[in-house]
Amino acid sequence: MTRPVLLDHDPALPSAEEAPRSHDLKELVLYGLGRSKWIVAGTSLVGTSLAVLLAASIPNNYTASGILRYTPGLREQQMSPEASAGMDVALVAPSVVAELFLLNDPAVFRSVADEYGPFKILDPEDPTQYDDESTNPALRGLHELQKKLLTAQRAVPEGADREAAVEAAAKQLRADTVFTPVPRSSIIDVTHTSSSKERAVEILDLILDACVARHREQYHTKERLDDIRAREAVLLGRLEEARTAFRAYREESSIDDVEKARGRIRVRIDSLDRQIVGLESTIASTTSELEFLQELLDSIEPDEEVIEPEIRSVNPRYQTLVAEKERAMIDLMLVKKDEVLSFEEKKRQVVALEETIAAYDRSIGETEPFVVERLETSKTQPNPRWVELAREVRVLEGRQRASGSHLKGLQDELEEENERMEYLRSIEAAHAAKREDVEASEREYERVAARADELEDLMRLDEAGAANLSRYLDPRRPEGKDGPPRGKIAAVGLIMGMMLGVGLAVLRQLLDSRVRYPGTVEREFGIRVLSTVPELRTLRRLTSEPAAKKG
């Protein structure tokens, strides 16, 4: 987008594309104020009115002042919380802070509220009470308005419970009362603010009395002494009980015998310990020897094989064959010698017998004359080395079993002795605890008894009526009003209303979507404004002025 050079172009005038959209401060604030002057005036008026109403709703303040004198002494030291906590009170200086904490006790203000009347405290002074016929009507109206506002915002409604009213009044009194210690002195300035001079003085007078009474009550020793004495009696009873229980236990437990028995048992335990250690060492060496023998035994065969000699005997068949042959030879001889027989027959028989004999010879030749008989070819028998080793192993095993049972017996005995020792120790511990109880009870009793003696001395001060917080200066009547700063409140309202109005005016300018000023056209659109023509009525007004002058 390009625009030709026009007129005497002002380099300061932005072109349309570079025209910023920001607002000019003069247009935003000054023109905004001029344009929205009635809005600013309205918000200022509303702010001021609200502030005036607020200021009217705050009653007048009058402050009365008095002085208390605080001279802490032995009693404050002895009765301080530090002393009660058991600290060395000689090292603890009585603190004015603690005293101020005491004086701000709600009980102080409750007693004042109860005595003065809670409703009277809660109701501010009637602003119309001094108005009469001579009072300015505007001022009277303002007082009436103020009275209505004060009535509307009262803390406790009419006819409310008195207890609640006392609580509310005490709270208000506490808020309106200030205790200020003067540094490096025993003086405490006390001020109380109320809605009238008389009321401020009266209430402060009661507050000073209540403070002194509260101090006396706090450091009053009679009750504390009674408490301590009662506690002393309780502790004494507890001490006697502890002593009786200690004696009874001592007799019951025969503590002297226990101590002797404990020595004996100690000696026996030591002896058993030594025996057990020796036996355990023996068992250990036997075990290693046994393991060695066992390994050796495992490496040897438990049995060995033995070979038996042969048994030679005559073969019965051989004997039978020989006998048959002899018989055949006899028969042959007989045949040969027989003469009865024919030759042929004889010959045939001789041949047959010879053949038989020959057959017998062959059979005899083929048959072993003796028979070799093995009744058992081999037999096994225990290895004597193995047997020897096994015997040794059995002996060692027997010995180890005997040692083990002996050790078990010793250990059982040791355990019994230890249990016995433990029992004796528990008796001794219970005895020691009871003795400690007695000693602790004695210490506590002695401490309380000493404290009771101290309080006895302090009580004599109480009986003399001495108090270390006293009224040093009576309440002084306030000379003038302290507040509220109604002018300042109204001014703040006015300023806040104006600020709100200015904010609205600026916002109105920011939100304006119309062309209103030449600067807007030049700045936002980059168009030079050749001239501005005033509004017609403005023109007419302007033109009428010289005419009037002429006329």
Q: Which residues bind another protein (CB under 8 A)?
A: 1, 3-8, 16, 30-35, 37, 513-518, 520-521, 524-525, 527-536, 538-539, 542-543, 546-547
b/e burial code for range 247-257 (CB count within 10 A of at least 16 → b):
eebeeebeeee
In the complex, the smallest distance separating the C-beta of residue 47 from another protein, rounded to whole angstroms, is 19
Q: φ and ψ at 483, to 5 degrees?
A: 180, -175
Nearer to another protein, 7 or 91 (CB): 7
Structure letter (DSSP) for residue 189: E
Whether the ω angle into residue 59 lies within 30 degrees of 0, i.e. cis, is no
Nearer to another protein, 16 or 466 (CB): 16
Q: Which residue has the tokens 């004495």?
A: 229
In the complex, the smallest distance separating the C-beta of residue 106 from another protein, rounded to whole angstroms, is 57
In the complex, the smallest distance separating the C-beta of residue 149 from another protein, rounded to whole angstroms, is 36
CA pair distance 46, 497, nearest whole angstrom: 7
Tell me the one-letter amino acid at 503.
Answer: G
In the complex, the smallest distance separating the C-beta of residue 206 from another protein, rounded to whole angstroms, is 58
Nearer to another protein, 233 or 515 (CB): 515
Nearer to another protein, 16 or 182 (CB): 16
CA pair distance 162, 169, nearest whole angstrom: 10
Nearer to another protein, 43 or 65 (CB): 43
End-to-end CA distance of the chain: 55
In the complex, the smallest distance separating the C-beta of residue 514 from another protein, rounded to whole angstroms, is 6
In the complex, the smallest distance separating the C-beta of residue 517 from another protein, rounded to whole angstroms, is 8
Contact 207, 192 (CB under 8 A): yes
In the complex, the smallest distance separating the C-beta of residue 12 from another protein, rounded to whole angstroms, is 15
Nearer to another protein, 40 or 165 (CB): 40
In the complex, the smallest distance separating the C-beta of residue 533 from another protein, rounded to whole angstroms, is 5
In the complex, the smallest distance separating the C-beta of residue 178 from another protein, rounded to whole angstroms, is 47
Structure letter (DSSP) for residue 61: B
370-373 and 311-314 beta bridge pairing: antiparallel
In the complex, the smallest distance separating the C-beta of residue 500 from another protein, rounded to whole angstroms, is 17
DSSP H or E run through 488: helix 486-511
Nearer to another protein, 337 or 514 (CB): 514
Nearer to another protein, 477 or 540 (CB): 540
Nearer to another protein, 299 or 532 (CB): 532
What angle (nearest 5°) sits at the alpha carbon of residue 533, between those of residues 520 and 524?
10
Nearer to another protein, 22 or 299 (CB): 22
What are the contacts of 75-83 at 24+ separation with CB within 8 A?
75/219, 75/221, 75/458, 75/461, 75/462, 75/468, 76/219, 76/468, 78/221, 78/454, 78/455, 78/458, 79/218, 79/219, 79/221, 79/224, 79/458
**List of residues 6+ apart from 232 with CB closer than 8 A:** 445, 448, 449, 452
CA pair distance 216, 468, nearest whole angstrom: 8
Rounded (10°) angle between helices 106-116 and 197-218: 130
